[in-house]
Amino acid sequence: MNIPLDQFEQIIDETILKRGLNYFWQGRVEEPEELSPGCFETTVQGSEPYRVTVTVQDRKVTDYSCTCPYDMGPVCKHVAALLFALQEESLGLQKHKKKNSSASSRKKGIQKGRKTVAEQVDEILNHLSPELQTDFIREQCLRDPSFRRIFIAQFTRYLEGESKAVYAQQVKAILQSSKGRGGYIEWNKTAAVGKAVFNMLVNSRKHLELRNYQTALFISSAVLEEMVKALQFADDSDGDIGGNIQEAIELLYQAAAKDLPEENRKWLFDYTLTTVKKRLFEGWDWDLHMMSIAAEVMKGEKEASILLNLIESVPFSEYEEERVQEIISTILRKSGRNAEAEEFEASNMKNPAFRGQAIKRAMDNGNLEKAKEIAQEGIQQDQKDKPGLADDWVDWLLKIALKQKDQKEVIARARYLLFKPNRDHGHYYKILKSEVDANKWSSFIDDLIKQLSDVGRWSDSHFLAWICIEEERWKTLLEVCERNFTLQGIQEYEKYLANLYPEELSDIYRRRIIELVERHADRNHY
């Protein structure tokens, strides 16, 4: 996001803008506070109080957030209301006076020279003795449950007997505070839960960076377990709970990739195995993540055998089979059983990960004919049921042909892939331009343009336009725009055509505008 503060009303959706302005006029926006330079926060009274934050740098809105559940667009009415408050003076606005308020008590817009909240806090702290600070924090913890949860969550590692259970209790408290009478967390409450729990994970990440590994593991595992349970009694339509689950798992993966002290490594290995044995995540695919993490941190033949035996005892779906195979291969290789791993992979070559690894190994060993054979087998195996995967093996054949400097093969493979959807067309175009004889390039491009025009897929139209720009075929680009694009598409390429074909471009615009009006002139678009 990068919206000029002086022009936000020209950019934000008109409906949202009007609602935000009404909120401002109605006096629903509390006086904004500058938390730190350029970071403003307020409370906007909607159906309930919402906390809104906006960051302004060089008179541009660079970031924003709101605790409301709105997800129908980039900016909600509460953010718009705060922007009006920040621009109150420059826009000449005046909100309705609240009772008992005076003109002198109202501030207008962004106040220059006013101390930020951070500066005010620092100034106060500089005048408080450690004893007074301690007394204040203790009193606030006893009186304010929200402050208490934040304080304890931030500094739990200093408690004697720190454990996963302590952090689990903090997550439970957050969940409990958002439950309705029936013990269910409605969709409009899950956002607040998600943000509160995510703050715990931010803390976990900090501990991971500081090498406080056990604390990071405690927090991440506690969040993971409690948020999985929460899926049973919460409406997670917006993914606030599921997002924290994924973040917690990601943090466990990152911890596994560290050079963990033996105590922490063993804890993580035992923990992941325990979750699978107890089926804590039954019904989800997170068991696979746990075993994958266990495979990353395992050491020695004994732990390898324990993990392999566990995998054999757990029923996996057909959908999970390939991932399980990859975990088994990792275990075998990490325990030094490379020959057994290669035999296992060779017997499960339908797994694309194994086929890709086998091709790469053959190429690295200089055995290009073997690599080509494996890739061709993959094409035969997958071209009927998995054509996209078969094209991956064609891409490997292209890499092999480049290694062998087989110009004819390179051109054939690159041209084939050039016309496949969901591919990096620019990559194959550049390969072709470097391999096709310069004297034949113009006619080669003619054939490409004709073939792309005949195919007629919408995605190919933009690629065709890209080729026209690369080759400076402006007349052809004009024809592509006229034949394939709506107003928005034509606007994208106008800068290349306006000076060369002003009349033709104007005529295309005229016809598109008439078509647009005709399509939207019936009662369905009243």
pLDDT at 13 over 90: no
CB distance 470 to 458 below 8 Å: no
Q: Which residues contact 206 (CB under 8 A, 6 or more apart)?
A: none
- Both structure tokens of 101: 């308020």
In three-state secondary structure terms, 422 is coil
Report the half-sphere exposure of 476 (CA within 13 A, side-chain side): 20
Q: What is the DSSP string of 159-219?
A: STT--HHHHHHHHHHHHHHH--TTS-B-HHHHHHHHHHHHHHHHHHHHHHHTT-HHHHHHH
- Both structure tokens of 391: 């094209």
pLDDT at 103 over 50: no
* Residue 526: per-residue pLDDT: 45
pLDDT in tens, 466-476: 999 999 999 99
* Residue 456: per-residue pLDDT: 54
* Residue 311: per-residue pLDDT: 93
* Residue 369: per-residue pLDDT: 96
Q: Confidence band (pLDDT; 50, 70, 90) for 104?
A: very low
Q: How far apart are CA 398 and CA 255, in angstroms?
A: 38
Of 436, 430, 513, 504, nearest to 470 (Cα)? 430
Instruction: Please give the backbone phi and psi of residue 63, each rounded to the nearest 5 degrees, phi first.
Output: -160, 160
Give the percent of the chain with pLDDT over 90. 58
- For the entire predicted model, the pTM comes to 0.67
Q: Confidence band (pLDDT; 50, 70, 90) for 523?
A: low
pLDDT at 101 over 60: no
3-state helix, strand, coil in the chain (%, to 5): 70, 5, 25
pLDDT in tens, 237-281: 889 999 999 999 999 999 999 999 999 999 999 999 999 999 999
Sheet holding 60-66, edge to edge: 3-4, 60-66, 49-57, 39-45, 33-36
- Of 107 and 350, more confident: 350
pLDDT at 106 over 60: no
Residues paired with residue 3 on neighbouring β-strands, in sequence order: 61
- Of 415 and 103, more confident: 415
Instruction: Please give the backbone phi and psi of residue 116, each rounded to the nearest 5 degrees, phi first.
Output: -75, 165
Average pLDDT rounded to a whole number, residues 482-508: 91
Lowest mean pLDDT, pick from 158-167, 283-292, 385-394: 158-167
* Residue 94: per-residue pLDDT: 56
Average pLDDT rounded to a whole number, residues 481-485: 89
Give the percent of the chain with pLDDT over 70. 92
3-state secondary structure 25-40: HCCCECCCEEEECCEE
Instruction: Please give the backbone phi and psi of residue 55, each rounded to the nearest 5 degrees, phi first.
Output: -110, 130
In three-state secondary structure terms, 114 is coil
CB distance 68 to 149 below 8 Å: no
pLDDT at 191 over 90: no
- The secondary structure element, H or E, covering residue 62 is strand 60-66
In whole angstroms, what separates CA 324 from the centre of its chain? 25
Residues paired with residue 50 on neighbouring β-strands, in sequence order: 44
pLDDT at 198 over 70: yes
Q: Confidence band (pLDDT; 50, 70, 90) for 331?
A: very high
* Residue 434: per-residue pLDDT: 95
* Residue 522: per-residue pLDDT: 60
Rounded alpha-carbon distances, angstroms, from residue 13 to 17, 63, 93: 6, 17, 20
- The average confidence (pLDDT) of the chain is 88
Q: Which residues contact 427 (CB under 8 A, 6 or more apart)?
A: none
Q: Confidence band (pLDDT; 50, 70, 90) for 200?
A: very high
Q: Confidence band (pLDDT; 50, 70, 90) for 432?
A: very high
Lowest mean pLDDT, pick from 37-41, 77-81, 309-313, 448-452: 448-452
* Residue 244: per-residue pLDDT: 95
* Residue 342: per-residue pLDDT: 92
CB distance 56 to 112 below 8 Å: no
- Of 395 and 163, more confident: 395
Q: Confidence band (pLDDT; 50, 70, 90) for 325?
A: very high
* Residue 398: per-residue pLDDT: 97
Give just the sign of the alpha carbon dihedral 116, 119, 124, 130.
positive
Place of tokens 């035969």: 380
The 10 Å Cβ neighbour count of residue 212 is 16
Instruction: Please give the backbone phi and psi of residue 44, each rounded to the nearest 5 degrees, phi first.
Output: -110, 125
pLDDT in tens, 54-72: 999 888 899 898 888 777 7
